[in-house]
Structure formats: structure tokens, C-alpha cells
Amino acid sequence: MVARPYMSPYLAGIGVGLVLLLAFLIMGRGLGATGAYSTVLATAVETASPEHIVDRPQYASYLNHEEGSSPLKDWLVIEIAGVLLGGFLSALWARRFRIGITRGHNITDGHRLLMALSGGVLMGLGAKFARGCTSGQGLTGGALLSVGSWLFILFAFAAAYAIAPTLKRYWS
């Protein structure tokens, strides 16, 4: 089965922009991603070891037990659940759904998975320092012309471009 071609990135971008605009108009805030993961992690840590959360605001700030509900009943967590579903629906419709690994031709699956994991660790760290990622800072903060968001994106892309040559073989 042949997959459909990708949508024009300009059109996809406008689509994302309209969704982001709606978020601002309805909720007074933009979209995000990293915060959802922080909440999920904090919930897991709290479940495993409630004492560990005490005096650790880096966890506690993500644990909202108001109205006796689970901290996972959180705006960003629910949004990310939506992203998962939306991506799935799109992939299904475009006939792009396939269990597999996207990688360059010169490396093994295992190597790719290790690099993906490493990349994730770095991005997790970086996003925590920056209070957001390409969604929360790049798109949301970017649309608001926030100083810190534009600094973040500038340096993120600069670092990526700087390191790219060393990874050329791995990606081609």
C-alpha cells in the first residue's frame, strides 16, 4: 500500500498555527509537551515513593490533587493524549502507519534506538532548564515573541546545526 504524500509544510504549519491560536483564545495559554511528561513522571515517582516528593518542589509542583482527583487529570497530559490520537488518525488515513524504526541506512536498528534514547535524555534535560521544548517555547513562546523563547530556539537550532556534521553518516 502506498502512503499518501505529506501535506505541504506551509499548510500544515498554518493548521498548527490555527490550533495554537484557538488554544490562546479559549484557554488563554498555548500548547506544550514537556510539562505533560513532567506530570506523568512526578505521578509515577509519588506512587512508588510518596516520601521522595516531600520538600522537592520540582516534583510537587506537578502534583495537583485538588478535588481529590489524580494529578494526571492535567491540561497538558490530556493534550498529549490528544496528540497521540491525532497523529495516529493522520498516519492511518495517510496509510503511513507501520511498526518499524526510522533510521539512516548506515547504522543498525539497535544503534538508532540507542541514539534516540540519548537524544531524548539530552532533550529532557534541556527542556527542563528552558521550561519548555519546541512546542512550549518554540511555538507558544515564539508566537508571543517572548524573549526567552526566541533565545531558546536560536541556540537550539545553532547547536543542532553545529553538531549535525558529526552525525552525517548516522543519518544518511
Site for another protein in 11-30 (CB under 8 A): 11-30
Instruction: Name the region of 67 (left: φ>0; alpha: ψ -120 to 50; beta: rest).
Output: left
Among residues 70, 108, 159, 169, the one that binds another protein under rule CB under 8 A? 159
Q: Is 153 in the site for another protein (CB under 8 A)?
A: yes
Please say whether the beta carbons of 59 and 45 come within 8 A: yes
Instruction: Return d(Cα 13, Cα 54) in angstroms, integer.
Output: 42
Q: How far is the CB of 157 from another protein (least distance, A)?
A: 6
Let me know if 42 is exposed, middle or buried by CB neighbors in 10 A (0-12, 13-18, 19+): buried
Residue window 110-129: x/- pattern of binding to another protein, with contact defined by CB under 8 A: --xxxxxxxxxxxxxxxxxx
Q: Give the count of residues interacting with another protein (CB under 8 A).
A: 120
Between 65 and 89, CB nearer to another protein: 89
Q: Is 41 in the site for another protein (CB under 8 A)?
A: yes
- DSSP per-residue codes, 119-136: HHHHHHHHHHHHT--III
Q: Is 60 in the site for another protein (CB under 8 A)?
A: no
Q: Is 43 in the site for another protein (CB under 8 A)?
A: no
Q: Is 72 in the site for another protein (CB under 8 A)?
A: no
Please say whether the beta carbons of 27 and 75 come within 8 A: yes
